[in-house]
């Protein structure tokens, strides 16, 4: 990762940064976001650099990174206890019935591991997965959604959108075969 990482806010034991789409958070040593942040801050500048939550490689948004172990434990507990609101915007294929007032919930159980285009629920034991959405805008072929996650399954928004018949635009894994 060569470009400078944009730090939005920083405090005692944490950094909030802007994660661009197309970059892995921490699974590509030397090229991922955490490696880039470590290089930008300089060696030994923090106790740890550990993401507090996940964002898919393709997803852009704000990412909270702990720089101290005690802060990581405290922030992780807030996420685990459901005390953090997780909001996203997604552009999906198709229109919703009565789009000007559309709100809804996707509550199809999913496996903890990712499925694929032909099996987005995943194989094996399925667990609760809850996604709420509100239509923000729409056109003839697309709808912009404001999404709130209440659980955190791998690729949850992408999988639920696919199962609801409204795959996320540009999603190569769960998206429409006609418009990957």
Take residue 30 and report the two structure tokens written for it: 């030397």
Q: What pLDDT does 96 receive?
A: 87
Check if 56 is active-site. yes
Q: What pLDDT does 180 receive?
A: 46
pTM: 0.83
Phi-psi region of 83 (alpha: psi -120 to 50; beta: other; left: phi over 0): alpha
List the domain range (segments joined by +) for residue 111: 86-163
Q: Are residues 17 and 63 in the same domain?
A: yes
Kindly name the residue from 56, 70, 146, 171 that is annotated as catalytic.
Answer: 56
Q: Are residues 119 and 56 in the same domain?
A: no
Q: Are residues 52 and 73 in the same domain?
A: yes
Q: What pLDDT does 132 receive?
A: 97
Task: Flag whether 32 is in a domain.
Answer: yes
Q: Are residues 96 and 52 in the same domain?
A: no
The CATH number linked to 132 is 3.30.2350.10
Task: Flag whether 178 is in a domain.
Answer: no
Q: What pLDDT does 175 receive?
A: 85
Count of structural domains within the chain: 2
**Which parts of the chain have pLDDT scores under 50?**
180
Give backbone dihedrals phi and psi of 132, rounded to 5 degrees, phi first.
Answer: -110, 145
Q: What pLDDT does 56 receive?
A: 86
Task: Flag whether 75 is in a domain.
Answer: yes
Task: Flag whether 132 is in a domain.
Answer: yes
In 42-137, where does DSSP find H-type helix?
69-80
Q: Are residues 92 and 157 in the same domain?
A: yes
């Amino acid at each position: 990762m060569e470009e400078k990482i944009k730090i939005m806010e920083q405090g005692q034991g944490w950094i909030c940064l802007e994660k661009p789409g197309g970059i892995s958070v921490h699974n590509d040593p030397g090229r991922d976001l955490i490696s880039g942040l470590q290089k930008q801050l300089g060696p030994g500048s923090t106790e740890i650099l550990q993401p507090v939550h996940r964002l898919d490689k393709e997803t852009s948004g704000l990412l909270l990174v702990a720089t101290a172990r005690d802060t990581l434990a405290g922030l992780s507990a807030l996420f685990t206890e459901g005390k953090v609101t997780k909001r996203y915007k997604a552009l999906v294929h198709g229109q919703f019935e009565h789009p000007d007032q559309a709100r809804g919930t996707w509550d199809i159980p999913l496996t903890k591991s990712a499925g694929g285009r032909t099996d987005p629920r995943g194989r094996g034991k399925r667990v609760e997965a809850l996604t709420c959405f509100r239509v923000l805008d729409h056109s003839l072929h697309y709808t912009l959604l404001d999404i709130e996650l209440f659980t955190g399954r791998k690729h949850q928004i992408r999988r639920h959108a696919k199962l609801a018949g409204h795959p996320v635009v540009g999603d190569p894994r769960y998206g429409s075969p006609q418009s990957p």
